[in-house]
Amino acid sequence: MPLALVTGASAGIGRSFADALARRGYDLILAARSTARLEAVVQELSARHHVRAESWTADLTSDAGREQVAERIAALPHLDLLVNNAGFATTGKLHKIPLAPQMDMLRLHVMAPMRLCAAALPRMVEHGAGAIINVSSIAGFLFGPGNVNYSATKSYLTSFSLGLDTEVRGAGVRVQALCPGFTHTEIHTEMPHVKRQIPGFLWGRPEHVVETSLRQLAAGGPVICVPGSLNKILWRVLTMIPRGLRGRLAVRRRR
């Protein structure tokens, strides 16, 4: 049986990955902080899809949590798919918001995926097979106020994935930077204004994001995966505007 590890699998997009992969016959390792929520997913999916599933409780913002998961990955006999998905969002200008969550964001969106990729890749390269999905965001192409650290961490994750692909594609390992737009999950629970401000037609479902990602990966599609036709148009337009100008346009829009 193929084996997949999904971080942030207790909710949202990660939970949908767990579901979609179990349906495809993957055994699962599901990681997040909440043991109870992970165990509920493990019980449900193993009963429904007759796959083996286990939970690894870990806070990936902590050095100890990251190292423990990385060491356990390195000790696995094989890992066919790593989904670096765990993440969170904040809003507010950097000089006005508490710094600790911003530092944690760098640890979770940047250090954790890099560390876990480094742990998984030696075995994947040795076997000449395997795949990594780094859940980035279309926000990584934006440079507007109020979200700068989130956008910058996702920008890192996209460019990290593009670079990593050039290193391991020849060895038979595929890498994807999944860049969803607004998706109905728990990530905006603490930010109800986001749901109010963003028009309904711009919101997608996590199941659609995950199906698009897995289909593009299976088809050997491009590294960057942007689910949803509207998001794709937005992304193409954004990438045509010079980076410096993208930030200025966003500031004008908010005046």
Ligand X SMILES: NC(=O)c1ccc[n+]([C@@H]2O[C@H](COP(=O)([O-])OP(=O)(O)OC[C@H]3O[C@@H](n4cnc5c(N)ncnc54)[C@H](OP(=O)(O)O)[C@@H]3O)[C@@H](O)[C@H]2O)c1
Residues that bind ligand X (CB under 6 A): 7-14, 32-34, 37, 58-61, 85-88, 108, 135, 137, 180, 182-183, 185-187
Compute the distance between CA of residue 217 and CA of residue 224 in angstroms, rounded to an integer.
Answer: 10
Look at the block and give the residue holding tokens 């990594």. 132
Q: How far is the CB of 222 from ligand X (least distance, A)?
A: 18
CB nearer to ligand X: pick between 26 and 150 = 150
Q: How far is the CB of 187 from ligand X (least distance, A)?
A: 3
- φ, ψ of residue 174 to 5 degrees: the values are -100, 145
Q: How far is the CB of 138 from ligand X (least distance, A)?
A: 6
CB nearer to ligand X: pick between 27 and 59 = 59
**Three-state secondary structure call for residue 227:** coil
Compute the distance between CA of residue 174 and CA of residue 182 in angstroms, rounded to an integer.
Answer: 25
Q: How far is the CB of 162 from ligand X (least distance, A)?
A: 17
Query: Residue 23, CB half-sphere, CA atoms under 13 Å: how many?
Result: 10
CB nearer to ligand X: pick between 34 and 159 = 34
Extract the tokens encoding 66. 């990251």
- φ, ψ of residue 184 to 5 degrees: the values are -70, 100
What is the set of active-site residues?
Answer: 150
CB nearer to ligand X: pick between 13 and 120 = 13
Pairing of strands 53-57, 131-135: unpaired
Query: What DSSP designation does 86 have?
Result: -
